[in-house]
Amino acid sequence: MSFDRELTPKWRQGYRYQYEPAQKGHVLLYPEGMIKLNESAAAIGGLIDGQRTVAAIISELDRQFPGVPELGDDIEQFMEVARAEHWIELV
């Protein structure tokens, strides 16, 4: 099954993406705790605003980081994991 890049990711209610100085990086806060995101996940997370489609996020990151092989596939994988972990909804 192929991934639909026209879906729009949004953080689930109760989840908040932010920079956390104590962690020296971006985190995802939720009622039960916190997830520290690696640089790639933070770059993707920073573009999840409930407005941009997955395709638009891929396009923006391709502009910021030209020539990264399989960038779109990596972003799709992040979206699948984030959805499976219930961090985001794809609508």
Whether 72 and 2 have beta carbons less than 8 Å apart is answered as no
**CATH code 1.10.10.1150 for 9-86:** yes
pLDDT (tens digit per residue) in 9-45: 999 999 999 999 999 999 999 999 999 999 999 999 9
Exposed/middle/buried for residue 42 (C-beta within 10 Å: 0-12, 13-18, 19+) = middle
Distance CA 56, CA 62 (A): 10
Q: Are strands 9-11 and 16-20 parallel, antiparallel or unpaired?
A: unpaired
Q: Which residues contact 82 (CB under 8 A, 6 or more apart)?
A: 9, 88
pLDDT (tens digit per residue) in 42-80: 999 999 999 999 999 999 999 999 999 999 999 999 999
Residue 1 pLDDT more than 90? no
Domains of the chain, by residue range, sit at: 9-86
